[in-house]
Amino acid sequence: MKVVLQRVRAASVAVEGKVVGEIGAGYLLLVGLALGDDETTVRRLAADVAKARLMPDAQGKMGVNLRDAGAEALAVSQFTLLADFTKGNRPSFNGAARPEVAQPLFDLFAQELGALLGRPVPTGVFGAEMAVELMNDGPVTVVLE
């Protein structure tokens, strides 16, 4: 499992021109699920995201987690995070979990993170062609695995 976490001032995700999820300040989470990922992996990464102290404190330094900052999270499934270019210029996605496995795990990730944050986590639409807009803050971008 790979999560690209971007601290944002605002972010949204749209499908066919209609916004299906949006947040103000917080984290945009691009989530890729790999072969072998399971509920334990998903719960651990959700906890890591919830605990990550990347929001600015009173001095403007990274030191506050999402919940304490009163900030939000938006999760977007993105199997392309598992791209493998070792055999040429065209990526292989053989390391990505199949949709029938990945979708329930992605849903669990959003649910677990929402429980840890005390608020629902909006998402994109699994498997859909999505347009993601964000205003990066910092910029702060980290990868969790």
Q: Are the CB atoms for 81 and 30 separated by under 8 Å? A: yes
SS (H, E, C) 77-126: ECHHHHCECCCCCCCECCCECCHHHHHHHHHHHHHHHHHHHCCCCCECCC
Q: What are the φ and ψ backbone dihedral angles of 73, each rounded to 5 degrees?
A: -135, 145
Check if 80 is active-site.
yes
Check if 78 is active-site.
yes
Active-site position among 6, 41, 80, 103:
80
Active-site position among 78, 106, 109, 123:
78
Active-site position among 6, 40, 79, 123:
79
Check if 6 is active-site.
no
Distance in angstroms (rounded) separating the CA atoms of residues 101 and 93: 15
Distance in angstroms (rounded) separating the CA atoms of residues 22 and 10: 8
Catalytic residues: 78-80
